[in-house]
Amino acid sequence: MARPQTDIEAGREALIGHVIDMIEERGSSAMTVTEIAARAGMSAANLYRYFESKEALIEAVAEHWFQPKVEIMEEVVASDLPPRRKMYEFYARRFARMMTEWERDPVAFASYVELGKENFELIRGYVDLGDHYLAMIIGEAMADGHFADLDVDEAISLINQMVSVYVNIGMMELVMPKLSTEKLARIIDAVFDGLSGADRGAKGLSTLRAA
């Protein structure tokens, strides 16, 4: 049986819902504590019973937005899929969810992008968590002989540069119509089939030069 919500918990959940509604209705992430409190039918002073600051409220909204994506990462990492398939699912499932969100309301999606940019320090932990789970998948892949001559941190950096457009909402918003799970699968195959620390000739010049 689920634990009953306290008045504070219920009030916090209601305020998070009001902020989400305001973002999606107004198409703008800019809002004041006074506006949020008015939407909730309370005074600004009363709002601080539930959240100690506007930043704390925005952080709770971010947690609400990221939680389904975190659950996807946890489920994929805990699965018994082979590393190649696991890495694909790690990105594809989150991308598919965010694609659906974008298709439902591109303006609201853009507002979440702006909210993230404005409050990046509040969401940095979710970025770090994604790298943590990616490192676990990379470790499994390395145990199978992939990514030779790279350490885990190098592999994380390189893979993020190749694939982050599928999960970084600021980047994906710019090219969303060109993204697809089919293209993602080909990128992941290229990562597994080719990524290593070996010098294969691309940087074999002392200086850059025109062809």
DSSP symbols for 58-78: HHHHHHHHHHHHHHHHHHHHH
Categorize the per-residue pLDDT at 3 as very low, low, confident or very high, splitting at 50, 70 and 90. low
Residues in the chain: 211
**Max Cα distance, the chain (Å):** 69
- Helix, strand, coil shares of the chain, percent, nearest 5, are 75, 0, 25
Task: Say if CB 47 and CB 40 are below 8 A apart.
Answer: yes
CA-closest candidate to residue 187, choices 209, 162, 164: 162
Min mean pLDDT across 119-123, 150-154, 176-180 is at 119-123
Give the mean pLDDT of 47-65.
89
Categorize the per-residue pLDDT at 5 as very low, low, confident or very high, splitting at 50, 70 and 90. low
**CB within 8 A of 115, min separation 6: which ones?**
23, 29, 58, 61, 62
* Domain-wise residue ranges, the chain: 56-194
| Token pair in block for residue 17 | 């819902």
The pLDDT score that the predictor gives to residue 41 is 93
Per residue in 168-181, pLDDT (tens digit) is: 888 888 899 999 99
Give the mean pLDDT of 134-161.
96
Fold assignment, 56-194: Tetracycline Repressor; domain 2 (1.10.357)
The pLDDT score that the predictor gives to residue 150 is 96
The pLDDT score that the predictor gives to residue 55 is 86
Res 206 pLDDT > 80: no
Res 119 pLDDT > 90: no
Min mean pLDDT across 127-131, 194-198, 204-208 is at 204-208
Task: Say if CB 130 and CB 73 are below 8 A apart.
Answer: yes
pTM for this model (two decimals): 0.85
Categorize the per-residue pLDDT at 1 as very low, low, confident or very high, splitting at 50, 70 and 90. very low
**CB within 8 A of 204, min separation 6: which ones?**
none
% residues pLDDT > 90 (the chain) = 59
CA-closest candidate to residue 123, choices 176, 173, 179, 167: 167
